[in-house]
Each structure stands twice: as C-alpha cells, then as structure tokens.
Structure 1
C-alpha cells in the first residue's frame, strides 16, 4: 500500500461532496508529474489525504482510498468541458484519473501551517519548494504516520480511527 495527498479546491469539489457521493472519479489533473503518479503508481487500496486547496485555511480535510486504478480522463475529450484538451484523442489520451472512495472526514481542517511544524515532513514533496502546484503528491509511510499523529493530537479524528 502506498500513501498520497490529493488537492482539490472545495469550491469545485470538497470532502463533503465526496462524503455525499461515497465514491467518485478524480478528474481534471493537468500536470504531467501528477498525472504520472496517478497513471503509473496509484493502486487500489492506497490511502490518500484529501487536501482542500485555495481555501481558508488550506489543509487536510479527510481521508479517502483509491478504489479504481488509472483510466483515461473523460473530460479531455469534450470541447465544452473546462478540462478539454484538443490534442488528446481516445486512441492516444494524455490525461488519466483514478476513482476514490470516502473514508473519513476530519472534524476540522488540518491547516498547512500545522503541517509545516511536523519535523518528519521536512523532506516531503508536500513542503518542498517548487512542488506547491502539484495536486497529487506521494507520501512516505513515516509522513502518513506523522500526519495521522498530528491529527490525533489535535483531536481531528474520532477515537475509533487510527
């Protein structure tokens, strides 16, 4: 099992939307590095932090699980869609997505400012200069554990979640 962090602007799709739906596709990723993570490395069962970006505050909102491995992102083929890519074809897609399933909503957002205070994250892509725009970020198991520990310290998880 691998660990990830995926960012979404909650004005478009947030943890509450995923909780209501139960499961959904994670489409619209238009960064090649992030696409490659989803296409090449994500597997069913991988754990993912849902990160609210462009929010006040930006930070972790909950946990989801990869429930379907990568497949072509349908939005790239539709001219009326905001994620349309005129170069992509069904025979040669450029963009991929995965499906995710809701697991847990934090009682409050774990803000980026708190994440920056976790020493174990100093070497993570999450805090690495130049990676701020990545919407899909791999995490090492020790990064996942450190974040979960911080969430428990801040009482963001119910007692029965670890």
Structure 2
C-alpha cells in the first residue's frame, strides 16, 4: 500500500513538473533565427511576414532598432518598392513586435504610448492582432495616416492572422 501511494505521488509530481513546458518553434528571417513559444493563440514572426507578402509587400530586414517595448525588441523591415531608389526618397518601414501573449502585447503598447510622449517623433500607424504589435512608419501626417501608402494592406494582413 505504501509503495502504491509513493508511486502515485511521484506520478502526480512528475506530471505537474512537465505540464508547464511549452514547445518551441524556430523562426527564420533573412538568416536570423529566433525561438518563440509554440501556441495556437500566438502568431509567429514568419506568419506576420507571410501575411504581409501575400498583400504584395516586399520586405527587407533593417538593422536599425527603434524601441524596446515591454522588454521585447522589434524586427524592423523596409518596404521595398522600385520608386524608393530615387534620390532623397526614404523607404517606409515597419517594426514588428512578437509577444508571448496578448496581455504582454497590450503592455508593450502602453510602454510605447509612454515613450512617444517623451520624444518629439513621427507617430506611426499602429496595428494589433493577438500577440503581434506592428508599427507602420509612413510619410503621411497624423491626420491623414489612414491614407498612408500601405495602410489597407497592413490592415488586411493583420486581420488574416
């Protein structure tokens, strides 16, 4: 009887210890590998990039770092287009933040709102979906941001996630 009780307790403890483990999936972006938790509710960076490309957007990774929001660094991309090679033309960019949860994403946005008040800066269009926060740094002014060049594609891509 004592052995059965010990066996039962050991099974209970082992099951509890391993129940919180989460599988990881590698994410590859232009040769850079990032490992994120695998969860049906969460969206990976690969899925975001795939959705944006399906909307006709060409993306090139940018090394420049914008903000660290809620302890998460962004993956930054310029939006490729042939007319951006003109002298004096600046490409529009996006910053993609992938969080562990929707709540962490909301906290990241709160962090951004605090930081933008500290600096005099261009205000990006903000897109949120599940655990993804996307900042679209475009050339339109704040009052006309819904008419930015890729606004409709961004909105469509994010809604499909």
TM-score by length of 1: 0.27
Q: 1 or 2 for the larger relative contact order (CA 8 Å, sep ≥6)?
A: 1
TM-score by length of 2: 0.28
Q: For the pair shown, which has the larger CA radius of gyration, 1 or 2?
A: 2
